[in-house]
Amino acid sequence: MNGAQHTIRFTKMTGAGNDFVLIDEMDQRTPSTDWARLAPFLCDRRFGVGADGVLVLRPSQSLDFVMEYFNADGSSGGMCGNGGRCAASYYILKHHRQQTTFEALGDSYAARTAEEGIILRMKDPVNIQLGKRITVMGESLPIYFVDTGAPHAAAFVDELPDRFRRLIASNGIQEVGGAIRNHDEFKPDGTNVDFIEVEAGRRLSMRTYERGVEAETLACGTGAVACSILGVLLKGLKPPVEIRTRSNQVLRVNFHAKGDRISEVELEGPVRIVFHGDIEHPDQR
């Protein structure tokens, strides 16, 4: 934040349609800012900049930088795969590098440039649960769960009851996704929700309801990883797996699978800077 002008300097970025307001605190000597409080203002698409979340880059004692991520509602969203790729791309471009390592939520991540954007090495997934069933809106649903740095409950659309398939086809995923996100099974923190389809050419398509945004987003990196893992474990796909996101851009997930043991996960996809700007601090309005 520019103390003299009472403005917030930012960079708007997108990773496959998953968009972020990036705040660079690497070189700024500014007073401590409550970004959790400011995130809803910055992410507001009518009165702010507009984004799915806020990325704050700070100096690191051992790596290139620390990334902190806030959901659009100001909550902590866990790891953000596309956000990590955007943060890495920003740092790489700024410092004329080909790769970077950074810290997020106490873990180390490595990223590098690729022909199609940025490749981010992710954490190995944990808590893979196959064959769960939960009751949603009076219907029993088959649900799969994977924690890929953020929690994801996923459903294959062709396994859903006819009523839900019709509802999604006509009205989108908001109602069904919201009901699963807030289900007692996933309390107290809730979960992100992915809806998966297997396309021709053995590629996946996905739609994600993101907690903290409380709506569908155009892409989700940790969700793409979860969907890819489930595609390999349950549908006979082989990594690397391509996933068409709601933005129609493609994410590519590669990993090593040995039984249900998943390791060496990499998330690849497009990243770009949309624009740079300054916005008046809301406390000055």
Kindly state the tokens that stand for 25. Answer: 């605190």
In the prediction, which pLDDT does 200 show?
86
Q: How far apart are CA 119 and CA 31, in angstroms?
A: 33
Whole-number pLDDT of residue 17: 97
DSSP 2: B
| 110-144: pLDDT as tens digits | 999 998 899 999 999 999 999 899 999 999 999 99
pLDDT for 31: 62
- Which pLDDT value is given to residue 274? 98
Dist CA 256 CA 249 (whole Å): 24
Structure confidence at residue 282 (pLDDT): 87
Greatest pairwise CA separation for the chain in angstroms: 59
Give 40's contacts (C-beta < 8 A, 6+ positions apart): 48, 72, 73, 74
Please state whether the peptide bond connecting residue 240 to the residue before it is cis, i.e. omega within 30 degrees of 0.
yes
Could you please report the per-residue DSSP string of 6-67? TEEEEEEEEETTEEEEEEE-SS-------HHHHHHHHH-TTTS---SEEEEEE--SSSSEEE
Q: Which two tokens stand for residue 131?
A: 């064959």
What is the full DSSP assignment across 263-281? EEEEEEE--EEEEEEEEE-
The CATH number, out of the four listed (3.40.190.10, 3.10.310.10, 3.10.20.30, 3.30.1370.140), of the domain defined by the range 126-265: 3.10.310.10
Catalytic positions? 80, 220
**Tokens at 283, concatenated:** 């406390």
Residue pair 153/179 in contact (Cβ under 8 Å)? The answer is no
Classify the C-alpha dihedral 166-192-190-213 as positive or negative.
negative
Residue 6: the pLDDT is 80
Q: Give pLDDT, residue 4.
A: 43
Tell me how far apart the alpha carbons of residues 22 and 25 are, in angstroms, rounded to a whole number.
Answer: 10
Q: pTM for this structure?
A: 0.94
On whether the CB atoms of residues 212 and 75 are closer than 8 A, the answer is yes
Contact 140, 133 (CB under 8 A): yes
Q: What angle do CA 179, 184, 190 make, to 5 degrees?
A: 70
Residue ranges in the chain modelled with pLDDT below 70: 1-5, 28-31, 284-285
Q: Do domains 7-122+272-284 and 126-265 have the same CATH topology?
A: yes
Q: Domain limits of the chain?
A: 7-122+272-284, 126-265
* In CATH, 7-122+272-284 is 3.90.180.10: no
